[in-house]
Amino acid sequence: MSRQTTLSDVAAQRTLTECADTTKRDNTPTTERALLDRTKAHAADVAAEHFPDLPIEAIAWEVSHRRQRSAGATKYDPSNGEITISLAWDAYDSQGWEQFSSTVRHELIHAWQFHEFGEADHGRTFDRWTDALDTTQYCKRFKTPTWWIVCEDCDGQLPRYRRSKVVKQPENYSCGNCGGSLRIEEAASE
Ligand SMILES: [Zn+2]
Ligand SMILES: [Zn+2]
């Protein structure tokens, strides 16, 4: 009998929203540099209004051409308090500025959480800002996954983009949320 490995990121992913935003692109940045400039200016405006204590000028920003799984991510280094917000060029390219700016505000909430509490999640301290900042908790995914890992018991779902160990042998893993067994579903292609 094989030992089970707990798949711990199920809980964070239970609600999934497809970002099928079809907003047409207007006269918006066409280079990484221009996108970074606009992003920083937007973040500074939002922070000035809502997070006056957040040292926005200390945040490091990057636009990555490799980032594909989510439109954005915020990293925190507890040893020096450094916050880095990484954004996906492909998300901007496929969704346009309006949706992308929502991701910027989403990540800004995480930056504020890290600054205030030393940790970040999509819980209560996140939730209270989503209306004011006109962003969402989960609208971050922009690439359709190839597979879904589905829990038989709690219906938790996790996207997978590559044929990972879990995709190959789901029987060796259990749901991090409820301990239930997992199955793999091929995602419908579009
Ligand atoms: Zn988030
Ligand atoms: Zn489960």
Residue 94 scores a pLDDT above 70: yes
CA of 71, nearest ligand number: 1
Segment of 35-39, 94-98, 136-140 carrying the highest mean pLDDT: 35-39
Distance from residue 2's CA to the centre of ligand 1 (Å):
34
| SS3 per-residue string spanning 127-174 | HHHHCCCCCCCCCCCCCCCCEEEEECCCCCEEEECCCCHHHHCHHHEE
Distance from residue 72's CA to the centre of ligand 1 (Å):
8
CA of 122, nearest ligand number: 1
pLDDT band at 139; cut points 50, 70, 90: low
Q: Which amino acid is at 151?
A: C
CA distances from 121 to 19, 74, 124, 164 (A): 20, 11, 9, 25
CA distance 37 to 16: 30
| Total residues found in the chain within this entry | 190
Class in CATH terms, 19-130? alpha beta
Residue 154: its pLDDT value, please? 87
Residue 158: its pLDDT value, please? 81
Determine contact, residues 138/126, Cβ cutoff 8 Å: no
What's the pLDDT tens digit per position in 13-61?
333 333 333 334 445 688 899 999 999 999 999 999 999 999 999 999 9
CA distance 99 to 30: 16
- Burial string for 33-49 (b: 16+ CB within 10 Å, else e) reads eebeebbbebbeebbee
Residue 137: its pLDDT value, please? 79
Residue 27: its pLDDT value, please? 57
Residue 190 scores a pLDDT above 80: no
Residue 1 scores a pLDDT above 90: no
Residue 12 scores a pLDDT above 50: no
CA distance 86 to 92: 12
Query: Percentage of the chain surpassing pLDDT 90?
Result: 45
Determine contact, residues 67/73, Cβ cutoff 8 Å: yes
Distance from residue 1's CA to the centre of ligand 1 (Å):
37
Q: Where are the domains of the chain?
A: 5-12+144-186, 19-130
CA of 73, nearest ligand number: 1
* Residue 178: HSE in the Cβ half-sphere, 13 Å Cα cutoff: 12
What's the pLDDT tens digit per position in 67-91?
766 788 899 999 999 999 999 888 8
